[in-house]
Amino acid sequence: MLKYLLLFLMISVTLSAYDATIEIVKKIDRKPHIAVADATEAPIERTMKRKLLKLLIGDLKVTTHFDVDDSFTKLPYEENSGVAQLAKEGVELVAKVKLEKQSSGKLVASVRLINAKNLSLLYEKFYTIGKPKRYPFLAHNIAIDINDFTGAPPVNWMRKYVIFAMYIKPGKSDILVSDYTLTFKKRIVRGGLNLFPKWANKKQDAFYYTSFSGREPTLYRVDIYTGAKKRIASSPGMMVCSDVSRDGSKLLVTMAPYDQPDIYLLDLHKRTKKRLTRYSGIDVSGNFVDNETKIVFISERLGYPNIFAKDIAGGPVEQMVYHGKNNSSCSTFGKYIVYSSREGKSAFGFNTFNLYLISTQTDYIRKLTTSGKNLFPRFGDDGETILFIKYINGGTALGVLRLNANKSFLFPLRTGKIQSIDW
């Protein structure tokens, strides 16, 4: 079993622009200059307040739709004194944030968005979060609303949970959920070797993961709110869920019941299992593509990991990538594939892994990163944001790649290492 685990880890963790055929529905001709202001008057924990305001500034930068002041200023909530001075410095929008903590323990944020040029109130909104430790999502929701007010392309992905496996030591890896900045984290599976988490649906109320702690690798489904765990399947050597259909009824899994790993389709409603690949070597990491009529997957058919595709109904296997000698992880969105490619001279020592984007319907290929080790990409629901793992300074970080702006942002994990992710 260890042989298969190490082999799959090698393949699944071994990808800044975008495909010209992706169209952004709405664009801002010019980025508005925005500043964030602390308007808090009531006593509140200073460190949390500072972190929340810094997160809001960071969120506005990650949207890539604003020119954002790097630090926040102090302004009164009701009056507009001080706003005119910001306008003289080129600021066009001011987001005033007033924080309060209710006797019940809830954290409340009042937000006013001000037109700095004429001092008019553009809108006022109120936000409440039951548990103050979840304050990152409060900041994310404020940023989403400011972004939406300007008519910029939506950034609703900011409020989604990220789920990831955190490698601690040999034989030990836990499953955690977090916000995309890793500021909020909660451990939800612990004890033993737990890897490859995958959300079960878009509601993010359940997830799948593989436990390697028993006699055979076993796939479980866990309810995120009740903690109820259900065994789905197990297999000698390998059992990993790599993709879930849009309606949540079908899983693409990698299994090795006949010694070599292949891609299988599990229909949870019909309780059926269909073998999709039949290769004497290694086929792993199946992903739905082209409206779930095809799959793309990683195979060593050329003597090294590369990207292939085939119809779910059957037929021949098609090579998708003719670049690189170790294209070992991928993710799909509609007709697009993002994948990692090793560009070092050796399989050992220091190697560069970069991310590339291709379409199943054209020969277009575009490089998304330029340096370092960028692995395990995952498309967001908008098709314009990609989450990935960045190996940096001996540790790992979550990378957020914004395709429409050719920019990426890194959020380091302070302890442990990220092994695999989904969102």
Encode pLDDT of 34-69 as tens digits: 999 999 998 888 999 999 999 999 999 999 999 999
Percent of the chain with pLDDT over 90: 83
Where exactly does CATH 3.40.50.10070 map onto the chain?
33-152
The whole-number pLDDT of residue 3 equals 44
Contact 289, 255 (CB under 8 A): no
Q: What is the CATH number of domain 33-152?
A: 3.40.50.10070
Which pLDDT band, with edges at 50, 70 and 90, does 19 fall under? Answer: very low
The CATH number of domain 2-15+157-422, selected from 2.60.40.10, 3.30.1180.20, 2.120.10.30, 1.20.1050.90: 2.120.10.30
| Single-letter code of the amino acid located at 283 | D
Summarize the confidence of residues 274-296 as an average pLDDT. 95
Q: Which residues pair with 243 in a beta bridge?
A: 252
- The 3-class secondary structure across 169-192, one letter per residue, is ECCEEEEEEECCCCCCEEEEECCC
The whole-number pLDDT of residue 361 equals 87
Distance CA 107, CA 81 (A): 26
Which pLDDT band, with edges at 50, 70 and 90, does 374 fall under? Answer: very high
DSSP type of residue 40: -
How far, CA to CA in Å, does 25 sit from each of 21, 156, 237, 385, 391? Answer: 12, 15, 45, 14, 33
pLDDT at 226 over 70: yes
Please report which helix (H) or strand (E) contains residue 60, including its range. Answer: helix 46-63
Summarize the confidence of residues 142-148 as an average pLDDT. 98
The whole-number pLDDT of residue 63 equals 98
Distance CA 307, CA 327 (A): 7
| Single-letter code of the amino acid located at 105 | G
Kindly report the CA angle at 136 between 116 and 100, in degrees rounded to 5? 65
Number of helices (H), then strands (E), belonging to the chain: the values are 4, 30
- Sign of the CA dihedral running 382, 354, 7, 307: positive
HSE at residue 255, side-chain half, CA atoms within 13 A, is 22
Residues 6+ apart with CB under 8 A from 365: 321, 323, 356, 357, 358
Where exactly does CATH 2.120.10.30 map onto the chain?
2-15+157-422
The whole-number pLDDT of residue 288 equals 96
The whole-chain average pLDDT of the chain stands at 90
The whole-number pLDDT of residue 29 equals 58
Q: Please state at what angle helix 46-63 crosses helix 135-149, rounded to 10 degrees.
A: 40
On the 0-12 / 13-18 / 19+ scale of CB atoms within 10 A, 317 is middle
Backbone dihedral angles phi then psi of residue 416, each to the nearest 5 degrees: 75, 180
pLDDT at 192 over 50: yes
pLDDT at 9 over 50: no
| pTM (two decimals) | 0.89
Residues 6+ apart with CB under 8 A from 246: 202, 292
Which pLDDT band, with edges at 50, 70 and 90, does 325 fall under? Answer: confident
Summarize the confidence of residues 99-112 as an average pLDDT. 94
What is the CA 235 to chain-centroid distance, rounded?
A: 28
Kindly report the CA angle at 170 between 254 and 225, in degrees rounded to 5? 60
DSSP type of residue 5: H
Which pLDDT band, with edges at 50, 70 and 90, does 345 fall under? Answer: low
Q: Tell me: the pLDDT tens digits for 131-140?
A: 999 999 999 9
The whole-number pLDDT of residue 44 equals 87
